[in-house]
Amino acid sequence: MSTDTSQIELYKQKVGEVGASLVTSGMKVGLGSGSTAACVVQALGKRWQEEGLRFVGVPTSIETAHLAQSFGIELTTLGACPELDLDIDGADEVTRQGFNLIKGLGGALLREKIVRYAAKKFVVVVDERKMVDQLGDHTPVPVEVTPFGWEATAKHLEKIGAKISIRLKKESKDFFLTDGSNMILDCNFGLITDPVKLEKEINTIVGVMECGLFIHCTDEVLIAGHDGLHHLK
């Protein structure tokens, strides 16, 4: 299995194009965040400009909004469009059985989950490296928390087994802040045997806005890899 950076980028581009092919004119579409979701938006932008595809998008991050706007894609909000036909997004881990996810390494997990639950259908696009047998294989669970009292929130997370790393900005040692001005605590729980229970435990802690466990909510997965593209339902 090749893990060459240029090959991975080709995988992302291919799966992005296939993801974008699911969108038809007149749809209301959630636009995910992260590098693979960006490939979907780029492919949609190309179709918008070259094919005359017309739809309305709800972006899950400021970065995604800027990318979509660069192609002229029409955007709206969930306030104006609370029900979506389709949401397409990437993931950091996807289980082969059940399609459970860890998302949020890009920092947009709260908005991504809100948009997902506004959509009738949720399709995840990934390259083959993201497929795992069990969540927690190589990715911590991002937990979005309010800055006020985050230390106390972290203590509660530690009590349920988390080994915590505070998300920092790449260019400095300042705290990373989400588009909603919240912090992210990356919580390593090891291999997760009961993701349903863990999601509930995390989200009942006061100070937690949302966690990056997306359980029993994925309809389809598009996977690009060394043996081609797979569309799992």
Q: Provide the annotated binding site for substrate.
A: 33-36, 89-92, 103-106, 130
Q: Which residues does 68 contact at the CB level (< 8 Å), separation at least 6?
A: 31, 41, 44, 45, 57, 59, 75
Beta bridge partners of 187: 141, 164
Whether 143 and 184 have beta carbons less than 8 Å apart is answered as: yes
Q: Which residues of 23-39 are buried (b: 16+ CB within 10 A; e: fewer)?
A: beeeebbbbbbbebbbb
Catalytic residue (one of 93, 112, 144, 201): 112
User: Distance between CA atoms of 49 and 57, rounded to whole angstroms?
Assistant: 15
Cα angle for residues 68, 14, 230 (degrees, 5° grid) = 120
3-class secondary structure, 133 = coil
Estimate the crossing angle of helix 35-50 against helix 62-70, to 10 degrees.
30
51 catalytic? Reply is no
DSSP of 151-186, one letter per residue? HHHHHHHHHTTPEEEE-B-TTSSSBP--TTS-EEEE
Element (H, E) at 202: helix 195-203
Catalytic residues: 112
